[in-house]
Amino acid sequence: MIASTALVILLPFAAAFAGFLFGPRLSRPLRNGPAVLACAPVAAAAVLAAVVAFAVWRTPGARTGTLSMIPTGGVDIAIGLQVDGLAALVGLMVCCVALAVQIYSIAYMAGDPRYSSYAAFVSLFTAAMLLVVYAGDLLLLYVGWEVMGVCSYFLIGHHWEDRANSRAAVKAFLVTRLGDVGFLLGIIVLGVGAGTFEIDGVLGRVGTLPDATVTAAALLLLAGVAGKSAQFPLHTWLPDAMAGPTPISALIHAATMVAAGIYVVARLYPAFLAAPAALTVLGLLAVISMVGAALAALAQDDLKRVLAYSTVSQLAVMAAGLAVGADTGAVFHLLTHGAFKALLFLAAGCVITVAGSNMLRDYGGLRQNMPLTFWSMTIGLAALAGVPPASGWLSKDAVIEGAQHTALHGGEIPGAAAWIVYLGLLATVALTAAYAMRAWLMTFFGEPRGSYEIREAPPLMSWPVAALAVPAAVLGFFGLGAAELRPHVGAALIGLVFLLLGGGAAFLVWNRDPALDPARVLGPARPAFARAFYVDEAYAYAVAAPIRALARRVVAFDTRGIDALAVGAARGTRRLSGPLRIPQNGNPQTYLTGLLAGVVIITAGVVIFL
């Protein structure tokens, strides 16, 4: 069991390694060598992950296996894995999305000279995420966590010839790394406090740790979660990460990276439950993120950026679920979101390939000649907005239900915070329906606004999209098996009202003139929404610029301050040697005078003091 889990991680890792080592040379023995190397291992891993998930489903319970302990002189590090229901499910989801992305990429990246390195990085990315999912030790988890960060850097910057991509890649890595530093410190606080880095052991001892320690650790961990899962205030990298190839956006937004943050909170949930202050912070950040990102999504011109902000917003929904104690609902939403967001990005990729543009204003009327993409994307957007009975409706409803319950009956976090979370969720439902409706109408309805030929994307691209449409539509029903995930009439009805309000408003505005952008009614607020409330500018002004200035000061100080001191000391010594040389001028008369003077002084001293 643990061995096959290890294989799930090692297969993509080996594929990545082989990809870097042999690269394009693989295409000589076999024309599709790099593509086979990319897809076959992850397909095998998906099968194995399914077997593991099935075994866990048959006989629930956590299974752990430790290969080896690394001595550190203090708290030892365990090289071990742990599989429970949560890990098995998320692992399976990761493998499936990664497989879809790899197959899709064969067509999307056809003709790219660096396809093999691209595919290898996707494999490494998958392996790293799987390591996060299955890790049995916090530091092992951190290894996967960081490797994912660097893979995102390489993949976002895949087309590095363009400076904009390069900047986006650097930004993604730096912003997430800033959070990761907090995450690492949180791990250290938790691990050293508990005397072990093994997740089981840490969670078992959370109760015995002082409150301050647990709260500090949970808050530090949240920094990493906010970075990876793109929550306010570390969300700014995600929209820019759209610079990467579209399949990468699907991978980052659906299955890996952003999912990791939420997954880790769910994984370490007992530690967070022991720190209500951290949960409150998580809930408030989630509200800011979900409403802010939804408003920003409403005003974006770029289809991929609409989806990017929707990711921030949906992740915040999950974070809110975790904050109010609806952890099952949050994880459920993570899974359905993985399915429908991968679907949405891959479908957007089809649209972009056909239209040759990312901009909503260049689309319109794509419905007729792209039926497969249209229907898939319709299902995806319906799931995103939470239209019953698509998967997103059931999972989001479980979260809203949990928030309502906490707000009304109390829970882990203070009542006021719970109310804010609940109202934020409802507002988000309306906003999500509005921007999903806008994107849907502007892309597929009205008159075609571009001059390109509208046709379906290549089969290798459209079929993974169609395949993903199935879980995006029906995955929700699997939740009906669990009592806490079943919808309740009251909460569901309130949610539906907000959904209709948002979606209806967007439709009415669009219907007045289908050729125009419905976002025009935002009026003077639109630029602020489009720039996502100028958070980027604030960072550039408050963080980046001062650090650059400080760096220049340090360099100047190093040469003019410290080094000048050292060199000056040497020069001073040399100068001092000048006057000291004067007595040593080789003149016997001076020497004799000095000698006599010395004798006189000594004699005088003896006479006076003795």
Partner 1 sequence: MLMAAIPLAGALLLLVPPRRLLPGDTAVRRYGLGVSGATLLAALYALAAFDYSAPSRMQFEVDRAWAPAIGLRFHLGADGISLPLVVLTALLTFLCFVHLVRHPPAGGSARLLTALLLLLEIGLLGTFVALDMVLFFVFFEVVLIPMYLVIAQWGGPGRRAAAYKFILYTLLGSGLLLAGMLLVAVNAGTLDMTALAAGHEVARGVQIVAFLLMGLGFAIKAPMWPLHTWLPDAHTEAPTVGSVLLAGVLLKMGTYGLVRVAVPAAPEGAEFWAPYLGLLAVIGIVYGALACLAQRDLKRMIAFSSVGHMGFVLLGIATLTPVGINAALFGNIAHGLITGLLFFLAGAIKDRYGTGDLDALGSGMLGSAPRLASFLTFASIASLGLPGLAGFWGEMLALVGAYRPHSGLPRGTFIAFMAVAALGAVLTAAYFLRLLAKITHGPRTAGSPVAAISAHEYAAWTPLIALILLVGLWPKTLLDVTTAPVRALFGGG
Q: Smaller CB distance to partner 1: residue 114 or 361? A: 114
Kindly tell me which of 137 and 362 has the beta carbon lying closer to partner 1.
137
- Which residue among 567, 597, 601, 604 contacts partner 1 (CB under 8 A)? 567
> Do 354 and 454 meet the contact criterion of CB atoms below 8 Å apart?
yes
Nearest-angstrom CA–CA distance, 501 and 498: 5
Task: Say whether residue 562 binds partner 1 (CB under 8 A).
Answer: yes
Q: Residue 230 gets which letter from DSSP?
A: T
**Residue in 380, 379, 336, 375 with CA at minimum distance from that of residue 475:** 336
DSSP assignment string, 515-545:
TS-GGGGGGGGHHHHHTGGGHHHHHIIIIIH
The stretch near partner 1 (CB under 8 A) out of 141-149, 314-322, 384-392, 462-470 is 141-149
Q: Which C-beta is closer to partner 1: that of 559 or that of 593?
A: 559
Binds partner 1 by CB under 8 A, chosen from 29, 71, 207, 586? 71
Q: Which residue has the tokens 């949405």?
A: 344
Q: Is 470 in the site for partner 1 (CB under 8 A)?
A: no
| H/E segment holding residue 172 | helix 163-194
Residue list 348-387, contact with partner 1 (CB under 8 A): none
| Minimum distance, C-beta of residue 438 to partner 1, in the bound complex (Å) | 35
Exposure b/e, 9-27, CB count within 10 A at least 16 = b: bbbbbebbebbeebbeebb
Task: Pick out residues in 223-252 that bind partner 1 (CB under 8 A).
Answer: none
Q: Counting contacts by CB under 8 A, is residue 160 touching partner 1?
A: yes
Q: How far is the CB of 28 from partner 1 (least distance, A)?
A: 18
Find residue 137's DSSP bridge partners: 198
Which one of the spans 144-152, 307-315, 449-457, 523-531 is the region binding partner 1 (CB under 8 A)?
144-152
Distance (Å, whole) CA 257 – CA 259: 5
Contacts of partner 1 in 492-551 (CB under 8 A): 547-548, 550-551
Minimum CB separation of residue 550 from partner 1 in Å reads: 6
Query: Residue 101 and residue 89: Cα distance in Å, rounded?
Result: 18
- Nearer Cβ to partner 1, position 201 or 514? 201
| Positive or negative: CA dihedral 398, 284, 341, 227 | negative
Based on the shown chain and the rule CB under 8 A, indicate whether residue 566 belongs to the binding site for partner 1.
Answer: yes
157 near partner 1, judged by CB under 8 A: yes
Half-sphere exposure at residue 253, Cβ-oriented, CA atoms within 13 angstroms = 35
* Binds partner 1 by CB under 8 A, chosen from 89, 90, 139, 260: 139
- CB-CB contact of 322 with 266 (8 Å): yes
Closest contact distance (angstroms) between CB of 551 and partner 1 is: 4
Which one, 71 or 207, has the nearer CB to partner 1?
71
Specify the residue, 177 or 449, whose C-beta has the smaller distance to partner 1. 177
* Residue 61 engages partner 1 in binding (rule: CB under 8 A): no
Q: If we measure between CA atoms, which residue out of 414, 427, 432, 430 comes closest to residue 283? A: 414
Which of positions 163-202 make contact with partner 1 (CB under 8 A)? 163, 165-167, 169-170, 173-174, 177-178, 181, 184-185, 188-189, 191-192
Among 118, 121, 125, 153, binds partner 1 (CB under 8 A): 153
The structure tokens listed for 368 are 């007729």
Distance CA 347, CA 462 (A): 7
| Residue 575 binding partner 1, by CB under 8 A | no
Using CB under 8 A, which of the segments 74-82, 251-259, 283-291, 368-376 binds partner 1? Answer: 74-82
Least gap, CB of 172 to partner 1 (angstroms): 10
Complete DSSP assignment for 430-452: HHHHHHHHHHHHHHHSSS--S-S
Piece of 149-157, 243-251, 406-414, 436-444 that binds partner 1 (CB under 8 A) = 149-157
Cα separation, 260 vs 143, in Å, equals 12
State yes or no: residue 72 binds partner 1 (CB under 8 A).
Answer: yes
Q: Which residue has the tokens 């489009």?
A: 530
* Binding status of residue 552 toward partner 1 by CB under 8 A: yes
Q: Is 64 helix (H, G, I), strand (E, B) or coil?
A: strand
Query: What is the smallest separation between the CB atom of 556 and partner 1, expressed in angstroms?
Result: 9
> Going by C-beta distance under 8 Å and a sequence separation of 6 or more, which residues neighbour residue 552?
none
Q: Nearer Cβ to partner 1, position 41 or 191?
A: 191
Nearer to partner 1 by Cβ, of 153 and 529: the residue is: 153
Tokens 């740790």 belong to residue: 209
Note whether 302 and 384 are within 8 A (CB).
no
By CB under 8 A, name the binding residues for partner 1.
68, 70-75, 77, 79, 139, 142-143, 145-147, 150, 153, 157, 160-161, 163, 165-167, 169-170, 173-174, 177-178, 181, 184-185, 188-189, 191-192, 547-548, 550-552, 554-555, 558, 562-563, 566-567, 570
